[in-house]
A and B are shown apart, each in its own frame.
Chain A
Amino acid sequence: MTAEISRRVTLAWIAAAASSALATAGCESVPAAAPASAPMSPASLWKDLALSPVVAPGYGQDPDLNKPVIPWPLTLDGQQRETLRIAADLMLPADAHSPSGGTLHLDAFVDEWVSAPYPQQRADRSLVLAGLSWLDAESMHRFGPDFAHAGDAQRREIFDLVAFRKNVQPGYGRPAQFFARLRGLMLSGFYSLPEGIADIGYMGNNPSLGLYPGPTEEALAHLNASLTKLGLKAV
């Protein structure tokens, strides 16, 4: 399967929005047409997609747990993967603790996720693919180039419209929903990798003999300081 949303379709939306003449494009993945009377506003750049659901094999109810395989093909095109890679670098940039989301191939993880043949992933596919198109539409509307070709400050301006719970711009409900979902996917994709695990400090999955010893002295001291502050009995 190939990606349903082509660059051509995205460009068609922009042209349509610019001319206020919203026509449906002539391919199977047409965006739902907005009413001709829809007011021109940034929010109208969001288009829900009528996608045909992914039809591919799942891993079944009895897969080999020790030799996991992903039986469904990846479906995103190069442009979508590039947009995701850039978004991943912006979402989770490199710092002293771990590399960036793009470096850790979160674009591939999101592709794996939205290409899976399960209900939750199908729903996320609709949201994420529409969201990737919205990033381009918003960028082209505001700055000319698509998201991948916009400048760093321009990309941040777009993220800032929707990234903060208490400051989502009016009319940006669906883009904010997309952003929150993408952030959730990228957080799970990132922190479950060895680099993310090291960053966040998960120290388990590490067998040891004997009765579990409980918190370290440092952790106990922290706990007791917290309990004392709360007026509770220290342990």
Chain B
Amino acid sequence: MPQHNKKPHREFEPDVVVVGSGAGGGMAAYVLTKAGVKVLILEAGRDYDPLADSAMLKWNHEAPLRAAPTPDKDFGYYDATVGGGWSVPGEPYTSAPGSTFRWWRARMLGGRTNHWGRHVPRFGPYDFKPYTRDGLGMDWPLSYEDMAPYYDRTEKLVGVIGTNSGLENHPDSSPGVLLPSPKPRATELMIQAAANDLGIPCVPSRYAVLSRAIDHPHAPRQACFNASSCGRGCGIGAAFQSTTSLLPMAMGTGKLRITTNATVSLVVTDERGRAKGVEYFDKDGASHVVRARVVVLAASACDTAKILLNSRDGGLANSSGEVGRNLMDTTGTNIAGHIPALENRPRYNEDGMDVAHLYIPFWLYKEQAAGKLDFPRGYHYEIGGRFGMPGAGSPLGGVEDGYGLSLKEDARRYYGAQLSFTVRGEMIPNTDSFCELDPDVKDKYGMPVLRFHWKWSQHEIRQIAHGIKSARDMIHRLGGTVTTPDIPPERAISDGGFIIHELGTTRMGDKAGNSVTDSFGKSWDVDNLVIADGSVFTSNAHKNPTLTIMALAWRSMDHLAARLRKGEV
């Protein structure tokens, strides 16, 4: 961020200290500073500028190991994530016996918005009232109608490609909100033909990538130039990330300061239990305290829970006992197929906007309501298949055989002849899945770390089984061969945390007894503590959470700004 202000925060007395600079923290800073509130962001990682730091058009052969994933760069050499991935040095986490949980973290300005998938479907009316619909989990203390204006505003601000499809529980955006969709690839059109033949919808996808430039004095962003993987970070600002959008816009108000390399350990409270500020460690391990009228936590679901649990015995804002509970991820599995009809197909540039241009949303709400399915809630497919940039992986997609001239012929024949169906489904919170402080292990700052407990229920296992079967049906309808091993759903389902959609650890609810915050992310117990990240989710619809994190944060910050204006806090 060129406008980054490196002045020490001592010269600046913030009204609000925001912990984290990703989707939630970036949006919190944007909304509050626009309302005239002075904000200090504390970010655990280093400063990061996608323009200078990303490697958008480098070839895989220019990188070590053809850019293959390694424990240093879990998603490959060019992935934007800095200082993290599945492990952060000096900041371990543990899994309880019998549990497997994986926790992806970044240590950089903008957090995980620098490399995320940018897939931004809206939650629908059913998704905010899941208990009402099927008696499982808990309803949110707000409705789709409360959220709709914030979805519109957020989509307009961050820039979202898409087309209104009018499908059940997949809400349309207001007119003029969405940006034009790119044309589908041949592979996607093929999947669409098979899906529609089987009664499955396949519609233009919604991604936070610009197909038109956004002209903003502090955050000018270019339209996508149809090249480079979004996960590398977007130096032209087309793919949304906090660092090229929310943060520079907030900085442009003159009301924001950012301190990087500041790892918040706890919320400091006074004798009445109100938040006074936060304690953080700088990169040399020295601790500092920052005071503010209000503390906003947006450190990510699990780090926010960790901060609260470490803030005092039994956890701050935890009269309900729900902090760290109700931990959810998204279910995931992948089904791939080899399609003879795609062999030796004519070449053209299939990079497009990198993201999938078509999408298969959940389509069985009526059957589910009629009791015809053996699982509750939905899933979707993120579809794939293209002439991708060759790198550390065979272009033959798993059907390689032999050697010599025939192998080279096979490479030409089979390149781009694979299709993939990535299942992403809703998980219902359960009492076996939560995080707590590990009684023994501490991080490099001496703070207890998180210990994860994890178990999928039969709801998720049966849903994955259905997702596998429908994907196999589509591959077979195309005359293809499934190349993914046929393993039972309880083994095919991803590990907890692996889809990187951790949510729910400080859920919102309609009363103090069953939840940590109200519908504005305000702690029931601590009047001047607000939570603005995915930890407040009451449920985790199959729809990727980042859009909803930002829309909720906007709504909560509007509420907070009004309270500040009225002197209520």
Binding site for B on A (CB under 8 A): 58-63, 65-66, 68-70, 90-93, 95, 97-98, 109, 112-113, 116, 118-121, 159, 163-165, 180, 183-184, 187-189, 191-194, 196-197, 199-216, 218-220, 222-223, 226-227, 229-230, 232-235
Distance A9 CA – B181 CA, assembled complex (angstroms) = 62
Distance A235 CA – B197 CA, assembled complex (angstroms) = 13
B157 on the A face (CB < 8 A): no
Give chain A nearest CB distance to B382 CB in angstroms.
18
In the assembled complex, which residues on chain B have CB atoms less than 8 Å from the CB atom of A118? 70-72
Contact present for B61 and A119 (CB under 8 Å): no
Give chain B nearest CB distance to A181 CB in angstroms.
11
Cβ-defined partner of A220 (8 Å) among B186, B342, B478: B186
Contact present for A197 and B65 (CB under 8 Å): no
In B49-93, the 8 Å CB interface with A consists of 53-55, 57-66, 68, 70-73, 77-78, 82-85, 89
Contact present for B193 and A187 (CB under 8 Å): no
In B382-418, the 8 Å CB interface with A consists of 387-396, 400-405, 407-408, 411-412, 415
Determine chain A's interface SS by DSSP, over half rule: loop
Cβ-defined partner of A187 (8 Å) among B82, B400, B405, B479: B400
- A188-B391, A192-B391 are known contacts. Are A200 and B412 too (CB-CB below 8 A)? yes
- A202-B390, A205-B227 are known contacts. Are A92 and B186 too (CB-CB below 8 A)? no
Give chain A nearest CB distance to B537 CB in angstroms.
29
Not counting A183-B403, A192-B392, a sample of 19 additional A-B residue pairs whose C-beta atoms are within 8 angstroms of each other reads A65-B55, A66-B55, A91-B403, A92-B408, A97-B412, A116-B64, A180-B400, A184-B400, A187-B400, A197-B390, A199-B411, A200-B395, A201-B415, A207-B227, A214-B186, A215-B183, A215-B185, A215-B348, A223-B190
Name the residue on A nearest B54 (C-beta).
A65
In the assembled complex, which residues on chain A have CB atoms less than 8 Å from the CB atom of B420? none
Distance A229 CA – B391 CA, assembled complex (angstroms) = 33
Contact present for B342 and A68 (CB under 8 Å): no
Contact present for A93 and B404 (CB under 8 Å): yes
Interface size class of B (residues with CB under 8 A): 35 or more
Name the residue on A nearest B225 (C-beta).
A207
Name the residue on A nearest B87 (C-beta).
A61
- A91-B407, A192-B59, A205-B228 are known contacts. Are A63 and B346 too (CB-CB below 8 A)? no
In the assembled complex, which residues on chain A have CB atoms less than 8 Å from the CB atom of B312? none
Contact present for A226 and B402 (CB under 8 Å): no
Comparing B21-29, B117-125, B350-358, B440-448, the segment that makes contact with chain A is B350-358
Cβ-defined partner of B348 (8 Å) among A95, A203, A235: A203
Determine chain B's interface SS by DSSP, over half rule: loop
In the assembled complex, which residues on chain A have CB atoms less than 8 Å from the CB atom of B396? 187
In the assembled complex, which residues on chain A have CB atoms less than 8 Å from the CB atom of B66? 109, 188-189, 192
B194 on the A face (CB < 8 A): yes
- A65-B77, A200-B415, A226-B341 are known contacts. Are A211 and B211 too (CB-CB below 8 A)? yes
In the assembled complex, which residues on chain B have CB atoms less than 8 Å from the CB atom of A201? 347, 387, 412, 415
Among A63, A97, A202, chain B packs the most CB atoms within 10 A around the CB of A202
B180 on the A face (CB < 8 A): yes
In the assembled complex, which residues on chain B have CB atoms less than 8 Å from the CB atom of A213? 183
Contact present for B57 and A214 (CB under 8 Å): no
B321 on the A face (CB < 8 A): no
